[in-house]
Amino acid sequence: MKKHIVSLGLAIFLSQSVLAEDALRGAEVPLSPDLKLVPIVQKEDNQSLQYSVTANYPQIVGTHLSPAATQFNQLASAMAKQKIQAFIADVKQNQSYVQHLPEAVRHNNLKIDYDLDVLKPQNSILLSIRMRYDTMLAGQAHPTHVHQVLNYDLTQAKTLALADLFKPKANYLKILSDYCAQSLNAKFKKDNMFIATGTAPQAKNFSVWNLQADGLLITFDADTVAPYVYGKQEINVPYAAVKNLLASNAVVLPCVSSAKNCEVE
């Protein structure tokens, strides 16, 4: 996936989200002559609760936003805002414990960032967003790193579920499970109890998936298929591996014959 990094030193930060258009122009992604995808930056510091938040999430801007673009903006911003609210709630709940910690380790931090792919199969526009949440609460041994995705068909104005790509009752989770387990076992060169559990053919294990021109990108968070020290694991499952299970109206069908048909940007 393409990570769109914002120069935080150049952006203008307020306690509420702002569009610092001049500072963020380098991270803009054109979608059409009238629409573009840009990062929104939100920063919040609270001295009394000893936390800081830096959030970077995508929004569509343009002269005439379609209902689909408006819906995408609402979904993407809600993901970030819900995570921020949950983080602040955890900080508040942790206050009595924090008071017994050394001053140097009392701070709490949340950073939100994202990467994305834009696919254009047969004049459709598909937005595949992967949000990353890095959280460090006072007293933790190490930060947590988790991901959440938003796969959105801007042309049809709908959020895409993984099951939408496949025929009804297709056993696609078994195919994904086998492919990912084989790839991870080859990478780690030995049996790993994390892999069998983390790649079991259950929907929860494949909730972090993204569309790419040549296949599905499956992300496993740290500590799910390998020990924390190895970080997240990414497996690209080529469309060829699942093409016999794809629905006749799957949005990625043009990508199966050639990645060039999807015009990744």
Q: Using one digit for the tens of pLDDT, what is the confidence trace for 32-81?
A: 889 999 999 999 999 889 899 999 999 999 988 999 999 999 999 999 99
- Of residues 190 and 205, the one with the higher pLDDT is 205
The predicted pLDDT at position 129 comes to 97
Lookup result for tokens 């053919």: 201
CA distance 88 to 108: 9
Q: How confident is the model at residue 101 (pLDDT cuts 50, 70, 90)?
A: confident
Mean pLDDT of the chain: 88
**Regarding beta strands 29-30 and 51-62, do their DSSP bridges make them parallel or antiparallel, or are they unpaired?**
unpaired
Where does a domain end: 119, 136, 160? Answer: 160
Which CATH number belongs to the domain containing residue 60 in this structure? 3.30.565.40
CA distance 264 to 261: 9
Residue 247 lies in a domain: yes
Same domain, 192 and 173: yes
Same domain, 168 and 154: no
Q: Is the pLDDT of residue 151 over 90?
A: yes
Q: Which helix (H) or strand (E) holds 114?
A: strand 108-119
Cβ–Cβ < 8 Å for 237, 221: no
The predicted pLDDT at position 261 comes to 86
How much of the chain exceeds pLDDT 70, in percent? 88
Which CATH number belongs to the domain containing residue 181 in this structure? 3.90.640.20
The predicted pLDDT at position 78 comes to 98
Per-residue pLDDT, averaged over 123-139, amounts to 93
Q: How confident is the model at residue 265 (pLDDT cuts 50, 70, 90)?
A: low
Tell me the C-alpha to C-alpha distance, in Å, between residue 219 and each of 24, 60, 234: 27, 25, 5
Question: What burial letters (b/e) apply to 231-260, b meaning 16+ CB within 10 Å?
Answer: ebbebebebeebeebbeeebbbbbbbeebe
Same domain, 149 and 232: no
Q: Is the pLDDT of residue 224 over 90?
A: yes
Cβ–Cβ < 8 Å for 139, 154: no
3-state secondary structure of 207: coil
Question: What burial letters (b/e) apply to 51-68, b meaning 16+ CB within 10 Å?
Answer: bbbbbbbbbbbeeebbeb
Residue 8 lies in a domain: yes
Q: How confident is the model at residue 191 (pLDDT cuts 50, 70, 90)?
A: low
Question: What total of structural domains would you count in the chain?
Answer: 2
CB-CB neighbours of 223 under 10 Å: 17
Residue 265 lies in a domain: no
Q: What does the pLDDT look like over 157-174, one tens digit per residue? A: 999 999 999 999 999 999
Cβ–Cβ < 8 Å for 54, 87: no
Where does a domain end: 160, 186, 213? Answer: 160
Q: Which helix (H) or strand (E) holds 185?
A: helix 172-188
Same domain, 102 and 10: yes
Where does a domain end: 160, 194, 211? Answer: 160
Residue 180 half-sphere exposure toward CB, CA atoms < 13 A: 31
Per-residue pLDDT, averaged over 142-151, amounts to 96
Q: How confident is the model at residue 149 (pLDDT cuts 50, 70, 90)?
A: very high
State the residue range of the domain holding 127: 2-160
Tell me the C-alpha to C-alpha distance, in Å, between residue 34 and each of 58, 69, 138, 235: 16, 11, 45, 34
The predicted pLDDT at position 119 comes to 95
Residue 227 half-sphere exposure toward CB, CA atoms < 13 A: 4
Per-residue pLDDT, averaged over 183-206, amounts to 90
Q: Is the pLDDT of residue 185 over 90?
A: yes
Residue 174 lies in a domain: yes
- Of residues 85 and 32, the one with the higher pLDDT is 85
Same domain, 204 and 114: no
